[in-house]
Amino acid sequence: MLRGAVAIAALALAAHGGGAAALELAGVRVPEAASVAGHSLALNGAGVRTRLLFKVYVASLYVPHKVTSVDAVLASPTRRVRLDLLRHLRAEQLVGALQDGLTDNNPPDALAAIRPEVDALEQVMRSLGDVPERSVITLDYADGATVIAQDGVPRGSIPGDAFNQALLRIWLGDHPVQANLRQAMLGE
């Protein structure tokens, strides 16, 4: 039922010239396109991350062309995960959630191989301090590096495709942070 309401809302926006957003989730207008390092990306899918009864963020996935498989996302040379925060989060909450997601979706030997990159991610997230509601965190992958930005301001860059793939598995892996969020990001 919710999926049908989202589709109707998207069609209504398109019919009324509302091309600036493909859909609205939890009060967040989700852009239908993004530009990363000069590359145009299309919205692949978006959903709401909930924890217990609370809405935490809207997660959106952008790739060059719409895809429906994790392998196709991971093969994309440029990609973005956008997190529109729906509540105030402390840096330690972000770090803990990322650590859990990485551990749940990547084998120990793969994590050991990217330990310096994971440490760098944790350092960047801690540098954000307390992140207020309505902040936007982007995780952009282009030219072999993941650039982390808060509200459009780059906060750090971490090299390596293996690292970015491990990071994406938090949302798209075999044990994603939330199964229906994975489905939504894959456009299912």
Q: Is 183 in contact with 47 (CB distance < 8 Å)?
A: yes
Asked if the structure places residue 17 within a domain, the reply is no
Residue 174 is classified by DSSP as S
Q: In terms of residue numbers, what domain contains 92?
A: 43-185
The reported pTM is: 0.88
Cα four-point dihedral sign 149, 43, 181, 47: positive
Residue 2 pLDDT > 60, yes or no?
no
pLDDT score for 64: 98
Q: What is the CATH number of the domain that holds 157?
A: 3.50.70.10
Predicted local confidence at residue 12, as pLDDT: 36
Q: Considering the domain boundaries, does residue 120 fall inside one? A: yes
State percent of the chain over pLDDT 90.
Answer: 86
Report the distance separating Cα 128 and Cα 159, nearest Å: 19
Q: What is the pLDDT of residues 64-88, one digit of tens each?
A: 999 999 999 999 999 999 999 999 9
Question: Is 28 domain-assigned?
Answer: no
Q: Judge whether 19 lies within some domain.
A: no
pLDDT tens, residue by residue, 55-64: 999 999 999 9
For residue 178, what pLDDT is reported?
97
CB-count burial class (<10 Å; 0-12, 13-18, 19+) for 74: middle
Token couple for 10: 């998207």
Say how many C-beta atoms besides its own lie within 10 A of residue 71's C-beta. 8
Into how many domains does the chain fold?
1
Structure letter (DSSP) for residue 89 = B
Whether residue 4 is contained in a domain is answered as: no
Cα distances from 132 to residues 35, 85, 135, in angstroms, run: 24, 8, 6
- How far apart CA 26 and CA 11 sit, in angstroms, is 17
